[in-house]
Structure 1
Amino acid sequence: MNIAPFLAKACQELDKAMQGTLDGTKIACISETISGYAIAAAIASGVAGVAPGFAGVAAALTQAGFVWATYVKINKTLDISMSENTAKFIGSAIVTNLITSAGAFVAVLIGSSIVSIIPGAQVVSVAMNAALGYTIVYVSAIIYLKLITRMMQPDGTLKVSESDDTKHIIRDIIKESNIKDMVKEGKAAYKQAKKDGSFDRTKNAKTCPKCGAEVKDGQRFCSECGTEL
């Protein structure tokens, strides 16, 4: 399975921190998780993009939910013990720092809100928010992999607290990272997902309205987030 450079490097660094226990199967699962939730975020953010005047804000709120849901699924793959509240805390901190430090994200959020109030231009707002939704989940996932790499203990445990110290570490990681090129990689992955039919398959699949996880016929509760269906 071919994985894009920034994502591949993040997985390699995490593998070293986990002393070589991150095998190819887990790496493939992480990549598929990121892609799946990024697509779900793009679809949901596109829908949020039709809200006149509030498209950018609505999309940002939607994306944050998919970000922490991605972290929860990655944690399960890596057998990492972390509460849902901590995952939400980290997701919020990473998204906030990305939006405030990356001008491209802010420009899209503002631009989509402005475009959404122009008669007949909502289709542009939908497209902008869909691309943004995918990219934010994609880049946020790479930052998260870098965070757990940095905070992984020699015994394989992870110490992450809901504190200002964690926020400072996240801020430092984002400052040290090449966010501009990560965004380019995320946009390229978004275009590829649209091209290879991944979006159509996701739209036709039954998914949880909260976290985007796939659900089966007759299922009453989401197996990922517990939301009643």
Structure 2
Amino acid sequence: MNIDKILLQSSEYLLHACDKQTEEMFPEKIADIVKFHAKGAALSALGTAWVPGAGAFIANAAGIGFIWGMYARINNAIDLKTSENITKTLASGIVTNLGAYFIGNTLLSAAFSFIPGLGSVGASVLTGGMVYALTIVSGLIYLKILTNIFTAGKDPSTFSASQLKKFAESAKNEMDIEGIIDSAKNYFKDNYSDEAEKAARKK
């Protein structure tokens, strides 16, 4: 499963559904927003993941801020006006909904963090990949939510946070979440693990 291809295709579907594709706004721009925030969330996680025990949990919580920022930038890119509170609530709700996929990795990372030296580095890199995958999946779910709503001829800005969460659950069920998570973690490992390890060793 190719993460770049999935992001690009999902972005194409969204721009087609909302009729926003122009010379200035093309699918690569939406895909790049998701990848930019995923990398930022992952590298930010390296700042806390090494903390014995609690680091992985703190890193995951910090990732929610990047996901909210990602949603806000996607909204701005397609000129979608919706309240900041709804966007934040939706971001938090989607992360909570995906939590079961990451509990095992979080506990493993927390266990690694108690091992001096290499364990701390391993915990940071593992958590970085996990947060990267969480952000990528959250971005894809959001693109799917908006695509489904626009395709139905609705205006996403008229929905409440609770209604959007129902769309999120439906979107999640239409996707191979586990496959995307595995692919995103592998993408992080192939493209950013050296950068992540260097950053972790500086802590």
Does the alignment reach a TM-score above 0.5?
yes
Counterpart for residue 65 of structure 1:
65
TM-score normalised by the chain length of structure 2:
0.84
Identity of aligned residues (%): 26
Amino acid at match of 2:136: Y
Counterpart for residue 174 of structure 2:
176
Consecutive unaligned residues of structure 1, counting only runs of 5 or more, are: 204-229
Q: Which has the higher contact order (CA 8 A, sep 6+)?
A: 2
Counterpart for residue 9 of structure 2:
9
Counterpart for residue 224 of structure 1:
none
Cα RMSD of the aligned pairs, angstroms, is: 2.5
Counterpart for residue 80 of structure 2:
80
Amino acid at match of 1:43: L
Question: 2:139 is matched with which residue: 120, 123, 141?
Answer: 141
Question: 1:109 is matched with which residue: 89, 106, 113?
Answer: 106
2:158 equivalent to 1:159 = yes
Residue correspondence of structure 1 range 210-225 to structure 2 within 5 A: none
Consecutive unaligned residues of structure 2, counting only runs of 5 or more, are: none
2:181 equivalent to 1:186 = no
Give the Cα separation in 1 of the matches to 2:28 and 2:103: 31
Amino acid at match of 1:128: L
Give the Cα separation in 1 of the matches to 2:3 and 2:54: 35
Kindly state the Cα deviation for residue 134 of structure 1 after the two structures are TM-superposed.
Answer: 1.2
Q: CA 1:3 to 1:57, structure 2 compared with 1: closer, same or farther past 3 Å? A: closer
Structure 1 contact 98–174 (Cα < 8 Å) conserved: no
Counterpart for residue 42 of structure 2:
42
Q: Deviations over 1:105-140 (max 9, x none)?
A: 221111111211223311111111111121111111
* Aligned-partner SS, 2:160: coil
More helix by share: 2
Give the Cα separation in 1 of the matches to 2:186 and 2:51: 26
2:21 equivalent to 1:22 = yes
TM-score normalised by the chain length of structure 1:
0.75
* Aligned-partner SS, 1:117: coil
Structure 1 contact 56–129 (Cα < 8 Å) conserved: yes
Structure 1 contact 70–141 (Cα < 8 Å) conserved: yes
Counterpart for residue 33 of structure 2:
33
